[in-house]
Amino acid sequence: MDNWREWRREKRAELIKLRGSISREEYRDWSAAITGLLKKGFPSLQSTVVGFCWPHRGEYDPRPLMDFITEGGATLALPEVVNKHEPLDFRKWWRDAPMKIGAYDIPVPDNTDPVTVRAMVIPMIGFDKQGFRLGYGSGYFDRTLVAITPRPLAIGVAFEILRVDTLHPQPHDVPMDFIVTEAGIYRSTINGLELISAETCAAESVLGSEQSGR
């Protein structure tokens, strides 16, 4: 597709509007379902360094999950934009961590210790049947995922209504390893998204093992 940038701009605006139209009850119920699936499907998050994003513009709110895995011993981190053309930096976060307003008016940790994440729970404006993510268009997460060695486990989170047939992926796009919606947990494979049980996911998402069927 030659005009994929314009197509994504239009699709991004459409999906943000759609996400903003859901009711408070739907948002609460869908978010709770996603949190429950993440708890059951990714127990290894409790023993590693996990990157999250502060909820923004109606995205899934990961803070209940963050509290849960912290109780299990996880180290939490939030991203900071240091340069628009570079990967994200992750800084340690805890409930009373000092915060400041960062890029795009999103809160970020204020000069806490830098950390290297082993897994990332990544919000998505939309996603497609092949496991590719639609973000805000700056490419930060794509650059970050390929810059960190070993590559972190990439868990995309979004509501099911934000699924599209294709995002017309480009060479720089990085697919998610897993996608979680209120409808279930999907594993990315070379044949597209595959719905799996939380038990299967827990066995396959152990950090340090093969993280995708790709």
Within a domain: 209: no
For residue 27, the enclosing domain spans 4-204
Within a domain: 159: yes
Bond before 109 cis per omega within 30 degrees: no
Whether residue 214 has pLDDT greater than 80: no
Within a domain: 214: no
Tens-digit pLDDT profile for residues 27-68: 999 999 999 999 999 999 999 999 999 988 899 999 999 999
Find the length of the chain: 214
Whether residue 211 has pLDDT greater than 60: no
**Domains: count for the chain:** 1
Within a domain: 22: yes
Mean pLDDT, rounded, for 77-83: 91
pTM of the model: 0.93
Report the CATH number that the domain containing residue 185 is assigned in CATH. 3.40.50.10420
* Per-residue pLDDT, 210: 41
Mean pLDDT, rounded, for 104-119: 93
Percentage of the chain lying above the pLDDT 70 cut: 97
Within a domain: 177: yes
Short-list 75, 87, 35, 37, CA closest to 187 = 37
Cα–Cα distance for residue pair 202/134, rounded to 1 Å: 25
Within a domain: 40: yes
